[in-house]
Amino acid sequence: MLDQLAAIFHRFKNLEEQLSDPEVITDASKFTKVNKEYGKLRPIADTYLEYKDLLDNLESAESMRKDPDPEMREMAQMEFEELRDRKEVMDEEIKVMLIPKDPEDERDIIMEIRSGAGGDEAAIFAGDLYDMYKRYCEGKGWKLEVIDENEGTAGGYSKLVFEVHGDDVYSHLKFESGAHRVQRVPKTESQGRVHTSAATVAVLPKMEEEDININKADLKIDTFRASGAGGQHVNKTESAIRITHLPTGIVSESQDGRSQHKNKEIAMAQLYQRIKDAQDSAAQSELSAARKSLVGSGDRSEKIRTYNYPQNRVTDHRINLTLHSLDKIVAGGLEPVIEGLQVAENATKLKEGGSVGEG
């Protein structure tokens, strides 16, 4: 474990030197990238120095326990026990710090919410989910941008697509993919009976071109006229985009955006994700399966969470977490649910890692 911390500390010091390098300073893109990694590693670097100091003090206290003076031995024993307890706590903290991060955690996202079974009430619920995510994002200081929206006939949305930009967005919202179920008395219900409706959420990390090695010559890009509801521009301009990756035959398309530029961006994000999934599946199929079983694969038939309004209850079925604070959660207070999922994911990674923390 100490070796792992030392290697990270060495990298941290190397980045510190780069930040004063004129070549890096004059390259805005490179400076931003180096500075971001530097900031991410600082907590680990600080912990390394604290842990190293702790080990030195522990060694010193250990030798003082052999002092011929009984009073000194007693003081050394007290200090040794205190430092040993602190080391046990730090060992656990460091194990968590050294858990490999999902490389996509820092990304912005594209989120899609669709009404499912339940008619008008499902569309209203889809709107409630959007309001919940919007308030959560506002609380985080993230920027939310609606790309496409189809309103429901009685309110809410039959479909809504939006992007979220900010720090570590995917690390928090990746768990939301799947089917969300609501149990409540709909506004349209005259008999006061509780109905069950559903909406589905899909979360896609926004991929950048430099993330995956794709030759632009291998891409075939077609434009076509968008179809279906979506405003006056539909069927009048060829704003929809279809991209084909010729070597693999993987295809993605988008007609949700309000411009050809936005549709190309969405289609490219989908294409990168699909190619990345195909590239990763052979080497990481077991790890991927384990992670998806925890965080949700986005399968529309997968019920991940229930919102029960009469009981003011939210249950996340993946980690058997039940909270009687639905009113706070739908008002944007998603943190307890997301933290629970993050803790469960980290516990799984620790278990799979096995050797993490040994050193």
Q: In the 3-class helix/strand/coil scheme, how is 269-323 assigned residue by residue?
A: HHHHHHHHHHHHHHHHHHHHHHHHHHHCCCCCCCEEEEEECCCCEEEECCCCEEE
Instruction: Tell me if 49 is assigned to some domain.
Output: yes
In a domain, 236, yes or no: yes
Query: Is 326 found in the same domain as 185?
Result: yes
Domain finish residue from 269, 286, 303: 286
> The CATH number of the domain where 238 resides is what?
3.30.160.20
Pair (119, 84) in one structural domain: no
Do 181 and 309 lie in a common domain?
A: yes
Same domain, 184 and 279: no
The CATH number given to whatever domain includes residue 184 is 3.30.70.1660
Contacts of 187 (CB under 8 A, 6+ apart): 121, 124, 154
Residue 74 is which amino acid? E
pLDDT at 290: 36
Kind plus residue range of the DSSP H or E element containing 346: helix 335-353
Token pair belonging to 237 = 């301009």
Q: How many domains does the chain have?
A: 3
* CA–CA distance, 347 with 357 (Å, rounded to integer): 13
Domain boundary among 286, 312, 337: 286
Q: What is the largest CA-CA distance in the chain?
A: 94
In a shared domain, residues 55 and 180: no
Residue 169 belongs to domain spanning: 109-209+294-354
The tokens describing 19, both together, are 């930040």
* Residues of the chain under the 50 pLDDT cut: 230-235, 282-284, 286-300, 354-359
Regarding whether 225 and 250 lie in a shared domain, the answer is yes
Please check whether residues 227 and 201 belong to one and the same domain. Answer: no
Specify which residues 315 forms β-bridges with: 306, 322
My answer on whether 190 and 233 are in the same domain is no
**CA distances, 34 to each of 18, 21, 40, 98, 234 (Å):** 8, 11, 10, 20, 43
Same domain, 50 and 140: no
Of the candidates 37, 1, 43, 2, the one whose C-alpha atom is nearest the C-alpha of residue 17 is: 37
- Contacts of 336-339 with CB under 8 Å at 24 or more apart are 337/305, 338/172, 338/173, 338/175
Domain of 78: which CATH number? 1.20.58
Burial of 161 (0-12, 13-18, 19+ CB in 10 A): buried
Structure tokens that stand for 57 in this block: 């003090």
Q: Are residues 77 and 158 in the same domain?
A: no
Domain shared by 92 and 27, yes or no: yes
pTM reported for the whole predicted model: 0.64
Q: In the prediction, which pLDDT does 213 show?
A: 67
Do both 313 and 350 map to the same domain? yes
**Does residue 359 fall inside a structural domain?**
no
User: What pLDDT score was predicted for residue 325?
Assistant: 95
Burial class (CB in 10 A: 0-12, 13-18, 19+), 8: middle
Neighbours of 208 (CB within 10 A): 12
CA atoms of 138 and 165, how far apart (whole Å): 11
Triad 304, 308, 313: Cα angle to 5°: 90
Please check whether residue 178 is in contact with residue 299, taking contact to mean a CB–CB distance below 8 angstroms.
Answer: yes
- Kindly state whether residue 247 falls inside one of the protein's structural domains: yes
Q: Which two tokens stand for residue 133?
A: 């995510």
Which of these three, 286, 302, 334, is where a domain ends?
Answer: 286
Residue 103 located in a structural domain = no
- pLDDT score recorded for residue 39: 87
Residue carrying structure tokens 């999902």 = 102
In-domain check, residue 104? no
